[in-house]
Structure 1
């Protein structure tokens, strides 16, 4: 083929840095092809057909090839210049999505911060247009993120399982399956389900065994550990739900995971706190990337979601009172007041009414709580500091519009649970003293010993941190462990479903889909 070829005008404009790009909801997009002659070291026809074949395999990267108007190979014979131009236009759009993410702007998803300047499109388009093997350019863009190859392998594995009919369901009725039990209906199904990943479990006569034997128990424990469940070998409600989660749901989450990692901005170059909401974990990460603190957390339940946000930890309060948000008062405390107002009062709660423009404390035992409307709740409730206080002994202040903070909790037993979405939106900490010690570092006159004395004083006090710490609450259901193992957590708030809808929307409607679907992330959160 001659080095003089035809390329899309928008592609040429992009190479030259021209503003001849269209703006859409997902960011700048290539315009409809218009052709002008340019000089380029064009690929030969066979290489162009390999490029077309690679574009048809974009599903390996979590993208839908149907979005890219890939021309049929037959066009190469009847109109070689038109075929090349259309193919490069399709490849240019795919390249942009692989570099910067297809769902580029999701309202409310401040946890996904992309930096197109980190991988500027124009040089890649130049290479695509001039490379002898343009398919290799697409492949390199698809694997820029170091976790992409691992995620792609897992995606291919799960798609193979789906093509073969999916996972064998394990009957959920009949209660918990205990180690050592016999169940001719459920044990073979359990063995077959886990045998997809561990073929040795279903080898030979063992496949039909109704006994929950030690080898199968150990396989269940490995599955539970991979799912973030307590690895006790007991197959109860949560383990059954994880076993029976459709493989298609996991495929969806892997597609999102691949796209979320594209074009990300570099992490802030300072010590920072990262809370992964669906993983129920907080990590303190040092400037060099080392994780110096890793703990379990409790996050908001589905009806009171912990929002994704970026803020800074600026202060610590000792023995904090809790000003109960109205939603918590209406939905949580009013039913308790109707049952036993004295028990609520003994829990340190004070009830206030407004009379003559002044706030007046009232005795909750004198109110007919059954006649109080939850829709027009007329009282203000505050909980005194103390052992029963919902915020525990320490509150970590990080200013934000959602009034979300990190805090201690008296409900320590909840950290033993595998799924920990119990709060009203704020983050409860498994190791508050360890985070306190780290946060106070560099604040003159403060250390763990002085903080312990402030807590023991039982009076409310606070300290401004000398060095505020960036805090990022993010929503990442798929993580790569040890560099080669993929862990997929349940999509507890449905944000992955919203994300994939934005990915699969036509370009012209991505603004609407992103705005509507990501509003799931904006469910009001308040309280503790």
Structure 2
């Protein structure tokens, strides 16, 4: 099994910028000139490098020489083209972005990529363009992603999608007549939905054909496909086409030097897709919807292991939740909170003492001044539901059941304070307890008892919380919103003037200044 490498964050000052990568120099410190390639082949290579945006890269980063240099100084043109090709080949093979703070989900198997062999092939090729093309298509699903990238880039060059203006706070309901917004909605969807092409875009009625187009758009964007155009749908409709281009460029770079999937049974949670899969090899054994942290309380990326499950868990409310979420509810109705199983505690003379919430003047407190601790008893109304899946980590993140089942019908499900709420916890429980003495009858008895009890797993299960907004399923590219802005962060690193990594002559990797 191939080794997996999580690429660490490196300070920009950790490495000096070399004047040229080691593999770009021959034994006499003269540039390699790809002697087997004709001048015409070198010109074709330069033309291909000038189109690196097809692969999500910026050609200006690689020093591709201007075409007219081929006639005025063919030797220099050849040397600069080959050096640009070597730099580009390194990024195509290994990925341009080396690592980002907090992104432990970004993985590359550098050792599996025979960089030196690729560089030797590039130097010896009669048609070096073919080497670049093969490297560009190496990442999983690269061709499908690149095809969609080309479509969106063409759309951006043509001016992008029409923007909708007006009062976008009001929800547009099926059957409404709106002379201001409906024609704009038609024009926006006609730019990306062939079914509306050639129709009367001035029609102000929100009729059935337009409703179906909205449903298709909502489904494609992972929204509730209810044909109601509210704030989220309006915002998504007005998303610039360049945002899609950025996501696809990031998706290509993230997939470079991607490690082979582990054969071990594991849990994968894709945060922006709001889905959990129990996977073995390339086969999904279980697939369910999840609820993840909202933007102001993001679920962190993690590589951890699930070690146990807890039945009928109590909820020790985190301080932030207590101050920001529960304090206002105690202020409105402390008796109702008490009836919901919430208990109030305070430290007095070094001891934790329970306090009757109906005796507290909560109006005297605010989010910056709240001296109490809160715990919720196990039960049907407990925020963790009836099952908690424990996976030790420094962020106090776990997966759990939830009483708020209605939220799983939503398309975008970023509602939690960071932990993962499960659509079908009993199915995950069955898989997690495989190999233990627990059976369904015993589980049901413990749950019915309302007693809090833990059960260790026979074998811990790897859990990976990752952030992948571009998914390819059966050749079809599915895109989900960049809910935390992490693709935008990645794109900024992708567009830095200097690559984070250049290949060494031995096929390893050295860093260039600018790695962060």
The TM-score with structure 1 as length reference comes to: 0.87
Separation in 2, partners of 1:285, 1:228:
22
| Alignment correspondent of 2:350 | 357
Separation in 2, partners of 1:46, 1:135:
11
Structure 1, unaligned runs of 5 or more = 1-21, 516-528
Secondary structure (helix, strand or coil) at the match of 1:192 reads helix
Secondary structure (helix, strand or coil) at the match of 1:446 reads coil
Over residues 434-466 of structure 1, what are the superposed CA-to-partner deviations in whole Å (9 max), with x where a residue is unaligned? 1111111122x2122321221111100011110
Secondary structure (helix, strand or coil) at the match of 1:215 reads helix
| Alignment correspondent of 1:346 | 339
Separation in 1, partners of 2:167, 2:515:
39
Over residues 171-206 of structure 1, what are the superposed CA-to-partner deviations in whole Å (9 max), with x where a residue is unaligned? 4526333333333332222222222233341315x3
Shift in CA distance, 349/48, structure 1 to aligned 2, threshold 3 Å: same
| Offset at residue 107 of structure 1 (A) | 2.2
Tell whether 2:445 aligns with 1:450. Answer: no
| Alignment correspondent of 2:418 | 425
Retained in 1: the 8 A contact 2:215–2:227? yes
Over residues 61-109 of structure 1, what are the superposed CA-to-partner deviations in whole Å (9 max), with x where a residue is unaligned? 1111110011223333343333222211111111111111111211211
Retained in 1: the 8 A contact 2:183–2:201? yes
Aligned match of 2:495 in 501, 504, 507?
Answer: 504
Retained in 2: the 8 A contact 1:281–1:297? yes
Over residues 323-381 of structure 1, what are the superposed CA-to-partner deviations in whole Å (9 max), with x where a residue is unaligned? 11111111112222222222222221111111222111111222222323533532222
Aligned match of 1:106 in 100, 103, 113?
Answer: 100
Tell whether 2:298 aligns with 1:295. Answer: no
Shift in CA distance, 29/301, structure 1 to aligned 2, threshold 3 Å: farther
| Alignment correspondent of 1:333 | 326
| Alignment correspondent of 1:250 | 244
Aligned match of 1:466 in 458, 465, 478?
Answer: 458
Tell whether 2:304 aligns with 1:311. Answer: yes
Aligned match of 2:479 in 474, 478, 488?
Answer: 488
Q: Which moved more, 1:127-136 or 1:232-241?
A: 232-241
| Offset at residue 245 of structure 1 (A) | 1.0
| Offset at residue 33 of structure 1 (A) | 5.7
Name which structure has the greater RCO, CA cutoff 8 Å, separation 6+. Answer: 2
| Offset at residue 408 of structure 1 (A) | 0.4
Retained in 2: the 8 A contact 1:23–1:29? no
| Alignment correspondent of 2:158 | 164
Map residues 58-457 of structure 1 onto 2, 5 A cutoff.
58-171=52-165, 173=167, 175-203=170-198, 206-287=200-281, 289-372=282-365, 374-443=367-436, 445-457=437-449
Shift in CA distance, 25/188, structure 1 to aligned 2, threshold 3 Å: farther
| Offset at residue 319 of structure 1 (A) | 0.3
Shift in CA distance, 178/357, structure 1 to aligned 2, threshold 3 Å: closer
Secondary structure (helix, strand or coil) at the match of 2:108 reads coil
| Offset at residue 41 of structure 1 (A) | 5.0
Secondary structure (helix, strand or coil) at the match of 1:473 reads strand
Separation in 2, partners of 1:29, 1:446:
62
| Alignment correspondent of 1:8 | none
| Cα RMSD, aligned residues only | 2.5
Separation in 2, partners of 1:491, 1:396:
27
Retained in 2: the 8 A contact 1:101–1:263? yes
| Offset at residue 125 of structure 1 (A) | 0.5
The size of the alignment, in residue pairs, is 490
Retained in 2: the 8 A contact 1:107–1:514? no
The TM-score with structure 2 as length reference comes to: 0.89
Retained in 1: the 8 A contact 2:140–2:255? no
Retained in 2: the 8 A contact 1:301–1:424? yes
Separation in 2, partners of 1:78, 1:294:
61
Separation in 2, partners of 1:363, 1:214:
56
Shift in CA distance, 335/213, structure 1 to aligned 2, threshold 3 Å: closer
Shift in CA distance, 200/339, structure 1 to aligned 2, threshold 3 Å: closer
Secondary structure (helix, strand or coil) at the match of 1:298 reads strand
Shift in CA distance, 265/29, structure 1 to aligned 2, threshold 3 Å: farther
Retained in 2: the 8 A contact 1:106–1:514? no
Retained in 2: the 8 A contact 1:395–1:408? yes
Separation in 2, partners of 1:378, 1:400:
26
| Offset at residue 233 of structure 1 (A) | 2.3
Shift in CA distance, 203/145, structure 1 to aligned 2, threshold 3 Å: same
Separation in 2, partners of 1:233, 1:275:
28
Secondary structure (helix, strand or coil) at the match of 2:465 reads strand
Secondary structure (helix, strand or coil) at the match of 2:295 reads coil
| Offset at residue 276 of structure 1 (A) | 0.7
| Offset at residue 221 of structure 1 (A) | 1.6
Structure 2, unaligned runs of 5 or more = 1-12, 502-511
| Offset at residue 487 of structure 1 (A) | 2.1
| Offset at residue 290 of structure 1 (A) | 1.7
Separation in 1, partners of 2:39, 2:435:
64
Map residues 9-20 of structure 1 onto 2, 5 A cutoff.
none
Over residues 47-68 of structure 1, what are the superposed CA-to-partner deviations in whole Å (9 max), with x where a residue is unaligned? 0011111111001111111100
